[in-house]
Amino acid sequence: MTDTLMRNSMSFARTAGRSGGRLLILAALSALVVVLPIGGLLSEALKGSAGLWAHLFSTVLPVALVDTLVLLAGVGAVTALLGTTTAWLVTAYDFPGRRFLEWSLLLPLAVPTYIIAYAYLDILHPIGSVQGAIRWLLGYETPRQFRLPDIRSMTGCILLLGFVLYPYVYIPTRAMFLTQSGNLLDAARTLGVSRRAVFWRVALPLARPAIAIGVALALMETLNDIGAAEFLGVRTMTVSIYTTWITRTDLPGASQIALALLLIVVALVALERWARRKQRYSNDARRSHGLTPRKVPRSTGLMFLAIGLVPILLGFVAPAIYLTSEAWKRYRFAGISPRLIDEAFNTVAIATLATVAALILGLVIAYAARLRPGRASQALMRLSGMGYAAPGTVVAIGVLILLAGLDRFIDQAALNWLGISTGLLFMGSGAAVVYALTVRFLAISAGGIEAGFARIPQSLDQAARTLGRSAGSTFRSVHLPMSKAAIAAAAMLVFVDCIKELPATLLLRPLNVETFATHLYGEAARGTYEEASIAALAIVAISILPVILLSRIGRVDSNPAAEER
């Protein structure tokens, strides 16, 4: 019996090693899909003329770099303040409406940055209803007598992006506050530290790693933005890449600016890791209890509720009401345009293809990490995440360079060998958009699936393989059924992000192909906001799906028996 078990164990190890090795090769090829566009970007940037960098340094980069850094500093400060404050309020205090705020503070995540800029440009227009009502209350008659500061400014851009992106800080910071040991806070109170000082001297320092991660994510989303910054008159490096490529038809120049932007991303990631390099936190779950919210007087509770409602009203409710009103007006006036139906089909088709591709590659990478854990598989996981860290414009230029060169090669080979022209097989078919979106969001797929696999005990793998199951059979009969929820969640997140993505879709879509995002961008650029209200409302409605998922996952039951279960 013992000999049989030993032979089965040795056979299992050999089979698992061979399967893991083959899968590791496939995972390397999957990660190469992400690396190739970056290589194409480097090769194109090196083609620039000798005076190109001097021209960029003297005309484009100074303004773009300063605006980008100011925008990053402002958005970082606003998101850190809003996210940390709201997370502490709903965690440390018990007041009327606290449970409502816990999940509703996530709602601004459903509004892409370019949509909130599009909405507020019309809401706060000098001859709009808001400023008209203010003038009526103050006794003024025309915008010349009184008008609010122009929303098209750096300050306006910082505030709008901050009120949309603060949930990136709220989510990890609240999770950190919830998991902090209540014993530490109780010990601080027994030592004479006031409740307010406990936040500054104990809770906030412990939450610094979570705040740093959230701010870094918010800043990466800021760098990826192209619509809001352009609508609001802020010339960031992302906008400069777009104008250099599209307006000046200068691809080497756009590539060089993209590389400079990529260096900023790398610096952000390095700064985030450096900020928490010495942060270590451990918690003995057997002897500690969570932070218990403190009941506050009704007047104080209403004040806390009002503070929590401000970012929800500005970041979600106001633009949602505006979009709903404008969409209803448009529907009553002209109904649903056939153009919107075509755009809905294009949007869903592109997002579905990109989601399927990202899931397949993510499964390969995550399963390779499952079968062959080690430095190689972890390095491949990090490589697969490069696309998510890079802004959409950077990925789009890399994909353009790569696939345009491949199109030229295939077309020339077909002409030489067959005497026919194949045209733009990849650039003209939408494959470039699907490829860019796959590269952009592969990290979400691979990370989500890997998290699902991590919950499955390794003993089940060993039992299945000892019974003669191959790696593929074990995956189909054990891993796939047990990780369906994680795969479905990853698929939903990738699908929604593909629908919301503007830069890559705008730059790589074939001629005469419009999606909801590109339609909205075009109408907002022309100032015809009402024409795009239905498309914008559709994007927000679809984007609310992951917010619902996050709210269900992040909900904490205050019943001790439920928590124990």
Q: Are residues 35 and 143 in the same domain?
A: no
Q: Are residues 519 and 506 in the same domain?
A: no
Q: Are residues 218 and 174 in the same domain?
A: yes
Q: Are residues 267 and 159 in the same domain?
A: yes
Q: Are residues 405 and 465 in the same domain?
A: yes
Q: Provide the domain limits for residue 479.
A: 14-47+336-511
Q: Are residues 358 and 422 in the same domain?
A: yes
Sign of the C-alpha dihedral computed for residues 221, 226, 231 and 233 taken in this order: positive
Q: Are residues 321 and 346 in the same domain?
A: no
Query: Domain boundary at 511, 531, 548, which?
Result: 511
Q: Are residues 222 and 83 in the same domain?
A: yes
Q: How would you write the pLDDT of the chain (565 residues) with one tens digit per residue? A: 445 444 544 454 455 555 567 778 888 888 888 888 888 888 777 776 556 666 667 777 788 888 888 999 999 999 999 999 999 899 888 889 888 988 899 889 888 888 898 888 888 888 877 888 888 888 887 778 788 888 888 999 999 999 999 998 998 888 888 776 566 666 666 666 666 667 777 777 777 888 888 888 888 888 888 888 888 888 888 888 877 777 767 777 778 788 778 888 777 777 766 766 655 555 544 455 556 778 888 888 899 999 999 999 999 999 989 888 888 888 887 777 788 888 889 999 999 999 999 999 988 888 888 777 778 878 888 888 788 878 888 888 888 888 888 888 888 888 888 878 777 788 888 889 999 999 989 888 888 888 777 777 777 767 767 766 666 677 777 777 877 888 888 888 889 889 988 888 888 888 888 888 888 888 877 766 667 788 888 888 888 887 777 776 655 444 433 333 3
The answer to whether residue 204 sits within a structural domain is no
Would you say 485 and 337 are in contact if contact means Cβ atoms under 8 Å apart?
no
Q: Give the pair of three-digit tokens for residue 471.
A: 């790696």
The answer to whether residue 192 sits within a structural domain is no
Number of structural domains in the chain: 2
The answer to whether residue 197 sits within a structural domain is no
Strand partners, 93: 294
Q: Are residues 364 and 253 in the same domain?
A: no
Q: Are residues 520 and 494 in the same domain?
A: no
The pLDDT, as a whole number, for residue 355 is: 93
Assign residue 273 the CATH number of its domain: 1.10.3720
The pLDDT, as a whole number, for residue 542 is: 86
Q: Cβ neighbours of residue 17 under 8 Å, at least 6 residues apart? A: none
Assign residue 353 the CATH number of its domain: 1.10.3720.10
The answer to whether residue 8 sits within a structural domain is no
The pLDDT, as a whole number, for residue 77 is: 93
The pLDDT, as a whole number, for residue 76 is: 92
The answer to whether residue 194 sits within a structural domain is no
Residue 148 class from Cβ within 10 Å (0-12 exposed, 13-18 middle, 19+ buried)?
Answer: middle
The answer to whether residue 285 sits within a structural domain is no
Q: Are residues 358 and 460 in the same domain?
A: yes
416-473 pLDDT per residue, tens = 888 787 777 888 888 899 999 999 898 888 888 887 777 777 777 677 677 666 666 7
Residue 551 class from Cβ within 10 Å (0-12 exposed, 13-18 middle, 19+ buried)?
Answer: middle
Q: Are residues 265 and 121 in the same domain?
A: yes
Terminal Cα-to-Cα distance of the chain (whole angstroms): 40
The pLDDT, as a whole number, for residue 336 is: 77
Q: Count H helices and E strands in the chain, helices first.
A: 29, 2
The answer to whether residue 4 sits within a structural domain is no
The answer to whether residue 427 sits within a structural domain is yes
